[in-house]
Amino acid sequence: MHASYQNREGSLLNGTDVEAESSLLQERTPDASDYMQGSGNNEEISVAAINELDEDGCAYECNGSLRIRSPLTLSSTVGVSPLSLQPKPNMITDGSISGAHSTVAESAKREAFQATLKYSKAERDATKAISTAKASESLYAEDLKCKNEIEKVRAKEREELEKVKHERDQVMRELQIYQNQISLLESQVEESHQSVRGLELRIMNVLELSLVYKRERDEMQIKYDTALKEAEELRRKQGVVASCACMPQFFSEFSFSEIKEATRNFDPSLKIGQGGYGNIFKGFLRCTQHNGQHSASDHGLVFHSSGKKWAVAHT
């Protein structure tokens, strides 16, 4: 016969693991007739309240720490309480049950109760493990969802970073082009500055030369004025000689255009030599052939004639 066993928390233990315990209880525990009080067929029976019956008509103790399954009929169902499990001296039995059997029954009940506690604890642990597993699964799903969202955010950030890098490279290339242009412009500006400095030096040289030429011109002008004064003085001194028609004029004065025309603009073919004052050209002045010496001065030309006559040409 299979036995059913329930602890105070309401956990029910069934199966082959409890079958041995139930057999032991049936062998060592007095049946319901042992707990009837009185004698004969007309005896009164003191019974406890029966809380429930199973499908075979077996009574269970619901409020106690142990439920004992005993075959009883509906007309003779006896409720067994924890206090009624102890045999009484005046009970009618087929034989006396020793105290050793009672001790064995109590030990079996304790062992069955401990097994029930272990099963209940295992059941609670299993329920807790299932709840923990479900919670872990939920946490894993949430974690996976968070990881997916983080990956999406990271992918978007990487894309934006690549875009920023591309823009930075574009700006760097443009900056390099601008720097090259700036370097070229700076070199051109430096060349312009050097050209300006060269022009300034040339202008300074020209100014110095112009000053030198001005001094030379002033000196030649002074010499020219002195020569004119001397010529006038000589003409006054030779006034008597000049009054004589037979005497030729000692000095002749020619213009620069006359001298230039006579020498054909100082044609090298008319050059006959070089004197202390410059090159000597030959030419006709006022229908008279003269040999003139071209001086290097820019302020006047002095010509020496073949007849030992001096001629001064104005510029």
266 in a structural domain: yes
Computed over every residue of the chain, the mean pLDDT equals 67
pTM: 0.28
131 in a structural domain: no
Last residue of a domain, one of 105, 121, 137: 121
Q: Tell me how far the alpha carbon of residue 208 is from its chain's centroid.
A: 64
- Structural domain that includes position 37: 5-121
Give the mean pLDDT of 9-29.
Answer: 43
Q: Where do the H-state alpha helices sit in 97-238?
A: 99-237
- Quick: pLDDT tens for 259-273: 878 788 888 888 787
79 in a structural domain: yes
Please state the domain count of the chain: 2
Residue 213 half-sphere exposure toward CB, CA atoms < 13 A: 9
115 in a structural domain: yes
| 52 vs 138: CA distance, rounded Å | 42
Nearest alpha carbon to residue 219 among 278, 300, 303, 275: 300
Q: Which residues of 29-59 are buried (b: 16+ CB within 10 A; e: fewer)?
A: bbbbeebbeeeeeeeeeebbeeeeeeeeebb
| 252 vs 242: CA distance, rounded Å | 12
- Quick: pLDDT tens for 41-69: 433 333 333 333 344 434 343 333 334 34
| pLDDT at residue 164 greater than cutoff 90 | yes
Last residue of a domain, one of 89, 121, 153: 121
Last residue of a domain, one of 91, 121, 151: 121
Q: How confident is the model at residue 251 (pLDDT cuts 50, 70, 90)?
A: low
CATH of the domain at 259: 3.30.200.20
More confidently predicted of 48 and 255? 255
154 in a structural domain: no
